[in-house]
């Protein structure tokens, strides 16, 4: 692992016996300290951050025996195949898998695999995904391992938690798979709602300057650095704007610079998938009601 490359560096942290490579660079700062980033600008920031991840890994894997496990749909914004191509001049094949959250409760989550197209066997996998509880990656690896052998997996996450890394690492140890984690800027603590990844969470490991920057940006509130549906910034911007409005409502940040893109939703019908994130404020059952 190259700990220092052009424009990026890595700090090593151990959490619960798991070593996590915390990657620090301008691209990740742009991504994690701008909740108003949308559309093409958001995708560009994601690609730049992924290219830095790949730069650190350039000497770690053999392209001939490496593939991506693309977790649909939010894994698309990591653009790993493009990052590998632009950084190394080579290409890697892609396996597809789709998951769905069934239950989220604090640090635990139940996830089901709804679709898979695994046609590119490789002994090394790259996975780009936000890591909260770690359940999504564990379930994805279960499906992959049922079909192919695997020696090593690299988890590349713009924002990942310590509890998620421990869960994934435990699963990998049980199946004799080496697991390497690269996280953006911090090892985040996971909020009680199972969604918030904040620099201000008491369990978050991050540079003091990043914690202070988040404190100033969000008025001292432990707001998630990546929101409740990461990737929606480009894939479903209308939904993202509405979720930002609810976050601003919860934290008393309406009108704040950190949420200038927030738009009040007409009702909660399109936001029920993230309902556990705000259930303590809006006790909306299966049928939705208009916003007050």
pLDDT tens digits for range 180-225 = 999 999 999 999 999 999 999 999 999 999 999 999 999 999 999 9
Give the pLDDT score at 286: 45
284 has pLDDT over 70: no
Q: Is the pLDDT of residue 269 over 70?
A: yes
> Where residue 287 falls among pLDDT bands split at 50, 70, 90?
very low
- Per-residue pLDDT band for 275 (boundaries 50, 70, 90) equals confident
- Separation between Cα atoms, residue 13 and residue 22, nearest integer Å: 7
pLDDT tens per residue, range 114-163: 999 999 999 999 999 999 999 999 999 999 999 999 999 999 999 999 99
Least trusted range by pLDDT, from 11-15, 33-37, 88-92, 147-151: 88-92
CA distance 127 to 104: 22
Per-residue pLDDT band for 21 (boundaries 50, 70, 90) equals: very high
Of residues 198 and 62, more confidence is placed in: 198
Neighbouring residues of 89: CB distance < 8 A, sequence distance ≥ 6 = none
pLDDT of residue 276: 86
Q: What is the mean pLDDT of residues 221-240?
A: 97
Per-residue pLDDT at 292: 57
Q: Around Cβ 243, how many Cβ atoms within 10 Å? A: 24
How far, in Å, CA of 182 to CA of 78, rounded?
A: 13
Nearest Cα neighbor of 34 from 24, 23, 42 is 42
Q: Using alpha carbons, select from 200, 267, 192, 270 the residue that is nearest to residue 229.
A: 270
pLDDT at 72 over 50: yes
Looking at the DSSP assignment, which residues form a beta bridge with residue 9?
4, 24
């Amino acid at each position: 692992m190259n700990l220092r490359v052009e424009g990026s560096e890595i700090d090593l942290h151990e959490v619960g016996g798991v070593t996590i490579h915390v990657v620090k660079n301008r691209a990740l700062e742009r991504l994690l300290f701008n909740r108003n980033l949308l559309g093409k600008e958001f995708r560009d920031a994601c690609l730049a951050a992924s290219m830095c991840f790949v730069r650190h890994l350039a000497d770690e894997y053999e392209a001939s025996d490496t593939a991506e496990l693309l977790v649909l749909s939010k894994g698309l914004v990591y653009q790993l195949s493009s990052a590998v191509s632009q950084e190394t001049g080579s290409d890697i094949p892609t396996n597809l898998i789709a998951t769905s959250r069934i239950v989220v409760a604090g640090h635990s989550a139940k996830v089901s695999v709804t679709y898979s197209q695994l046609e590119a066997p490789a002994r090394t996998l790259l996975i780009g995904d936000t890591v909260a509880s770690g359940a999504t990656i564990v379930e994805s690896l279960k499906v992959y391992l049922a079909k192919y052998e695997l020696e090593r997996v690299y988890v590349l996450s713009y924002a990942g938690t310590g509890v998620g890394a421990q869960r994934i690492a435990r699963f990998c140890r049980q199946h004799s798979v080496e697991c390497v984690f690269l996280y953006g800027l911090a090892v985040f603590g996971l909020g009680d709602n199972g969604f918030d990844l904040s620099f201000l969470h008491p369990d978050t490991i991050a540079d003091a300057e990043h914690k202070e920057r988040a404190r100033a940006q969000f008025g001292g509130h432990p707001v998630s650095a990546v929101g409740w549906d990461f990737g929606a910034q480009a894939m479903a911007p209308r939904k993202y704007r509405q979720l930002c409005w609810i976050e601003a409502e919860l934290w008393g940040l309406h009108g704040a610079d950190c949420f200038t893109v927030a738009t009040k939703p007409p009702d909660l019908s399109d936001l029920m998938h993230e309902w556990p994130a705000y259930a303590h404020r809006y006790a909306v059952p299966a049928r939705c009601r208009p916003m007050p």
